[in-house]
């Protein structure tokens, strides 16, 4: 039997990537239910994992998160990882923009090549016609 997992507002906000203020507003507006002291270890309101999942969809809790959630060094690592994630997301966006630009340039180059091939074919026909005319004149 699975035991319900309860998270502090800070932990829930951290996992969702939103502010604690947003969660408090959801609690105040009765969109989200928080309870007092279900495990008697905490003196503040906590939110059941199932309640978070009801409102926000499946909320993933990484292995070991609950054991280290209050550890400031882990918080530092989490912040550093978020910053790295954001840097990588920006780099990916920049790469996608470059790829799009290069694809546009390639499409333009291919169109130019097609135009040149068509012009070459027309010139070849014209040259063949002129050659026939010259041969007929001699």
Mean pLDDT of 24-43: 82
Domain range for 125 is: 73-138
7, two tokens: 């998270």
Residues 84 and 22 in one domain: no
User: Helix, strand or coil for residue 40?
Assistant: coil
Using the predicted structure, report yes or no on whether residue 137 has a pLDDT greater than 80: yes
Residues 11 and 48 in one domain: yes
Q: Which residues neighbour 42 within 8 Å (Cβ) at sequence distance 6 or greater?
A: 6, 8
Check: pTM over 0.75? Answer yes or no. Answer: no
Residues 95 and 53 in one domain: no
Mean pLDDT of 36-57: 81
Residues 4 and 51 in one domain: yes
Q: What does pLDDT average to over the chain?
A: 86
Nearest to 33 by CA among 13, 11, 52, 7: 52
Residues 90 and 123 in one domain: yes
* Count of the separate structural domains present in the chain: 2
Residues 66 and 129 in one domain: no
Residues 77 and 137 in one domain: yes
Edge-to-edge strand ranges of the sheet holding 35-36 = 6-8, 45-48, 35-36
Q: Is 20 left (phi over 0), alpha (psi -120 to 50) or beta?
A: alpha
């Amino acid at each position: 039997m699975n035991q319900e997992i309860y998270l502090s507002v800070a932990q829930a906000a951290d996992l969702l990537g939103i502010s604690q203020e947003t969660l408090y507003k959801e609690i105040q507006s009765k969109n989200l239910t928080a309870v007092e002291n279900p495990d008697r270890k905490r003196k503040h309101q906590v939110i059941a994992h199932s309640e978070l999942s009801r409102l926000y969809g499946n909320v993933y809790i990484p292995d070991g998160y609950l054991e280290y959630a209050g550890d400031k060094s882990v918080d530092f690592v989490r912040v550093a990882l978020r910053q790295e994630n954001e840097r990588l997301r920006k780099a990916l966006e920049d790469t996608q923009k470059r790829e799009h630009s290069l694809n546009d340039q390639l499409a333009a180059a291919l169109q130019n090549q097609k135009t040149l091939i068509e012009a070459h074919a027309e010139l070849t026909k014209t040259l063949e016609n002129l050659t026939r005319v010259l041969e007929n004149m001699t």
